[in-house]
A and B are shown apart, each in its own frame.
Chain A
Amino acid sequence: MPAETPVIEMRHVDKHYGALHVLQDINLSVDKGEVVVLIGPSGSGKSTLCRTINRLETIDSGEILIEGEPLPQEGKELAKMRAEIGMVFQSFNLFAHKTILDNVTLGPREVLKTPKDVAEQEAMRLLARVGVEAQAHKVPAQLSGGQQQRVAIARSLAMHPKAMLFDEPTSALDPEMINEVLEVMVELAREGMTMVVVTHEMNFARRVSNRVIFMADGQIVEEGTPDEFFDHPKSLRAKDFLDSIRGH
């Protein structure tokens, strides 16, 4: 049986920042419904990798395919593709001058041309799903970090994405708010969303990910199921890294 086309595929991707080789011959494919966690020390290139997938970072060589189609260059085609890939940032990046409701409806109304009332109904449903419907008419600065991040997830979901990218979604949060965001992500994963998650949350990785990819110095050093990786890391780099985040 031929395998289904991967939702995201990277082939021999390279990227430099000046002399720094931040992505080195990256090959990665993410199937529909798969949850892939990218883990690694800071500066390993995991965020950069995540951001190349919707071309917030350009690449020097190699190929990135979304459902088998090459990632378009700048312009309308790229905007269209970006609309189909959700992105959740470390610092939430909600639109500061818009209400929570308008943050969620902006994409559907401007990009998908959804009528206002339909977009608002769906936005309220999504806000309820992530538990912040009571804040719909406030502006982002009035919400806690955890609430803002859940709104950011709702904003992405409103575009009915084929896949979602999470770039350290809980790293800027106070400890007591991390779980409320992770719970939303766990639920999304259970519902079959294709996800690429850059995170240090090992519990999350164990509970929901299908695959853990460990990066260091711009390379994929090893990958495996979460149990394999966390319990029996093969490379020295991964062992050192796991020791350091476990505080041994």
Chain B
Amino acid sequence: MGYSELFATYGEKYLQAIFETLSMTAVCFAIAMVLSVLITVMRVSPIKPLRIVGDLYVQVFRNIPGVALLIIVAYALPYLKIMLPWKACVEVAVVLLASAFGSENFMTGINAIGVGQIEAARSIGLTFTQTMTKIVIPQALRSAVLPMTNLLIATMLTTALGSQVPLNPQELTGLVSFITTRETAIGILPFTVSAVAYAGFSVLLGLAGNAIDKRVRVIR
């Protein structure tokens, strides 16, 4: 079986898989960004219990392999009567992972902001919340564009966890398993197609990230 035959048979499934991978990436990354801002605000808040919960969240979810997280969400949570659809299980695992790393990226951005910026904000009478929303978060977001681009790519690659549960339609990695179990003599071909797709989108995202970074970077 060559490429032409592969595409003739599975072309439509590949398109669906690309759509699945990209849409899961978009959903997971969007939720992860919101969560990482919230967790990061907790981690720098003046309230100690919030800081502890935020730090704990990052330490826990940054240090569990994605597959283990998926197994917990998909196969352990049902014992607690929490039964999510397969796709949601994958997305939850990806979001937990990505938001922990995302919060670290924001923390790095916040640490790059001089204490003087915060003192100046407090000294004109901004409250803690105003200082966060007007000074700290905007600067942290801007300086986090490049690491967040990496995280976006990593999020896309992590949606390959979808291959470990029965999804329909499948994403790019799951589709490879699907094809190789049906076409015994196909060899490496389906892997190559998925790999090229992943790599292509990664390059595009990387370029977009660089362009955004150039526009919004804070010059100091």
Contact residues of A with B, CB < 8 Å?
54, 56, 74, 76, 79-87, 89, 91-97, 106-107, 110-111, 139, 141-142, 152, 155-156, 159
CB under 8 Å from chain A, chain B span 106-133: 114, 116-117, 119-127, 130
Is the Cβ of B134 less than 8 Å from the Cβ of A87?
Answer: no
Residue of B46, B121, B125 near A95 (CB, 8 A) is: B121
Shortest Cβ gap from B46 to chain A (Å) = 7
- Asked if B51 is an interface residue, CB under 8 A from chain A, the answer is no
The answer for the CA separation of A89 and B117 in the assembled complex, in Å, is 10
Shortest Cβ gap from B117 to chain A (Å) = 6
**Residue-wise interface mask of B (167-184) relative to A, using a CB-CB cutoff of 8 A (1 in contact, 0 not):** 000000000000000000
Is the Cβ of B123 less than 8 Å from the Cβ of A87?
Answer: yes
Residue of B119, B127, B134, B138 near A89 (CB, 8 A) is: B119
Shortest Cβ gap from B106 to chain A (Å) = 15
By size class, the interface of chain B is 20 to 34
Chain B residues positioned under 8 Å from A159 (CB to CB): 124-125
Is the Cβ of B122 less than 8 Å from the Cβ of A96?
Answer: no
Shortest Cβ gap from B216 to chain A (Å) = 8
Contact residues of B with A, CB < 8 Å?
46, 114, 116-117, 119-127, 130, 134-135, 138-139, 142, 218-220
Is the Cβ of B119 less than 8 Å from the Cβ of A107?
Answer: no
User: With A96-B220, A97-B142, A139-B219 known to touch, is A111 a contact of B124 (CB < 8 Å)?
Assistant: yes
Q: Which of A94, A97, A106, A159 has its CB near the most chain B CB atoms (within 10 A)?
A: A97
4 closest Cβ pairs, A-B complex: A83-B125, A107-B124, A93-B120, A93-B116
Is the Cβ of B127 less than 8 Å from the Cβ of A79?
Answer: yes
The answer for the CA separation of A111 and B130 in the assembled complex, in Å, is 9
The answer for the CA separation of A38 and B135 in the assembled complex, in Å, is 31
Q: Which residue of A lies closest to B216 (CB)?
A: A97
Chain B residues positioned under 8 Å from A84 (CB to CB): 125
The answer for the CA separation of A141 and B130 in the assembled complex, in Å, is 23
Chain B residues positioned under 8 Å from A91 (CB to CB): 114, 116
The answer for the CA separation of A111 and B220 in the assembled complex, in Å, is 26
**17 A–B pairs (Cβ distance < 8 Å), ordered by A:** A56-B119, A79-B122, A79-B127, A84-B125, A87-B124, A89-B120, A91-B114, A95-B120, A95-B135, A96-B139, A96-B218, A97-B142, A106-B126, A110-B134, A139-B219, A156-B124, A159-B124
